[in-house]
């Protein structure tokens, strides 16, 4: 198994969102062929139950999982507008089972076990359970990615406090995707990312989502992002803010 921590940064992550495990595997293979060093397999969209035995064997790069809440899945296109809802306990359990099956890591939202509108919680019981999940992954020598998707623009100070807090919860990688309303705000995301790279010594990703994001996101590794999220040419991921894996690979390797 390829470990996320050992991949030279910055690298490309192919985001795979499919309805069946077989389709997801085909998309993952395409992502690796097109230059991805890792794949994020979103379990939330799968309708055919648990992953088959030995699912991760034979894939040439690291495959970690996420399992987003049903409303979030709409960002990947209308095909995923009616994904079956799962509670946080189920979403985390599916990822822990994937670890046992050979995934390279798991992705936890900043409000896992205590959902909020802003996707952030400081509730002690929820944070304790997040750390327990992270500790479980670390005992298996797998990576933990913490994600925060606030539905608003952040200040640099808010971003720094957030990445530091999620690092303390056991994050090996910390990813924040802020909402922007214009190209000017998207460019400010570059400024914040560059400032974060001067303030922290662990891998992070800071990205905009919204008007102007499509032009800015492919450039974020130049401003400190540990990896660039991209979509394979094969498959159902229609999030246009994510460049195609082949383009992302060319951009990352010109840095």
Segment 158-173, tens digit of pLDDT? 999 999 999 999 999 9
54: left (phi over 0), alpha (psi -120 to 50) or beta: left
Q: Which domains does the chain have, with CATH numbers?
A: 4-252 (3.20.20.70)
Report the pLDDT value the prediction gives residue 70, as an integer from 0 to 100. Answer: 96
C-alpha span between 122 and 230 (Å, rounded): 30
Q: Report, as an integer, the average pLDDT of 131-137.
A: 98
Q: List pLDDT tens digits, range 34-62.
A: 999 999 999 999 997 778 888 999 998 99
Closest CA to 18 of 41, 35, 39, 36: 41
Give tens-digit pLDDT for 227-252: 999 999 999 999 999 999 999 999 99
Closest CA to 174 of 196, 204, 153, 149: 204
d(CA 108, CA 207): 17
Give me the residue label for tokens 């010109």: 254
pLDDT of 217: 95
28: left (phi over 0), alpha (psi -120 to 50) or beta: alpha
**Cα(130)–Cα(48) distance, integer angstroms:** 27
Residue 184: Cβ within 10 Å count: 10
Residue 1 has pLDDT above 60, yes or no: no
Average pLDDT of the residues in 6-13? 96
Position 157 pLDDT exceeds 80:
yes
Cis link prior to 215 (omega < 30° from 0)? Answer: no
Name beta bridge partners: 148. Answer: 176
Q: Tally the residues of the chain.
A: 255
What's phi and psi for 13, nearest 5 deg? Answer: -110, 120
Q: Quick one: what percent of the chain has pLDDT higher than 70?
A: 99
Query: If residue 107 lies in a helix (H) or strand (E), which one and from where to where?
Result: strand 105-109
pLDDT in tens, 165-223: 999 999 999 999 999 999 999 999 999 999 999 999 999 999 999 999 999 999 999 99
Average pLDDT value for the chain: 95
What is the rounded distance in angstroms from the CA atom of residue 93 to the CA atom of residue 121?
20
Q: Which pLDDT does position 2 carry in this prediction? A: 57
Separation CA 22–CA 52 (nearest Å): 9
- Burial grade of 208 (CB within 10 A; 0-12, 13-18, 19 or more): buried
Q: Which residue has the higher pLDDT, 2 or 97?
A: 97
Environment class of 225 (CB within 10 Å of its CB; exposed 0-12, middle 13-18, buried 19+) = buried
């Amino acid at each position: 198994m390829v470990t996320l921590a050992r991949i030279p940064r910055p690298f490309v992550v192919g985001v795979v969102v499919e309805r069946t495990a077989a389709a997801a595997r085909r998309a993952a293979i395409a992502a690796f062929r097109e230059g991805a060093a890792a794949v994020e397999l979103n379990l939330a969209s799968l309708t055919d139950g648990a992953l088959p035995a030995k699912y991760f064997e034979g894939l040439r790069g690291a495959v970690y999982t996420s399992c987003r809440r049903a409303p979030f899945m709409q960002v990947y296109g209308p095909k995923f507008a009616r994904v079956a809802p799962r509670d946080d306990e189920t979403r985390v359990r599916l990822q822990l089972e994937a670890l046992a099956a050979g995934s390279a890591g798991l992705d936890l939202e900043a409000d896992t076990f205590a959902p909020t509108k802003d996707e952030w919680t400081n509730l002690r019981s929820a944070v304790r359970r997040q750390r327990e999940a992270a500790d479980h992954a670390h005992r298996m020598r797998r990576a933990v990615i913490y994600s925060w998707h606030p539905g608003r623009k952040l200040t640099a100070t808010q971003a720094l406090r957030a990445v530091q807090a999620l690092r303390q919860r056991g994050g090996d990688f910390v990813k924040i995707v802020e909402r922007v309303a214009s190209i000017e705000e998207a460019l400010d995301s570059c400024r914040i990312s560059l400032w974060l790279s001067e303030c922290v010594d662990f891998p992070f990703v800071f990205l905009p989502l919204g008007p102007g994001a499509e032009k800015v996101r492919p450039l974020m590794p130049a401003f400190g992002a540990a990896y660039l999220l991209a979509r394979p040419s094969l498959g159902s991921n229609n999030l246009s803010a994510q460049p195609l894996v082949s383009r992302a690979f060319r951009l990352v390797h010109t840095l």
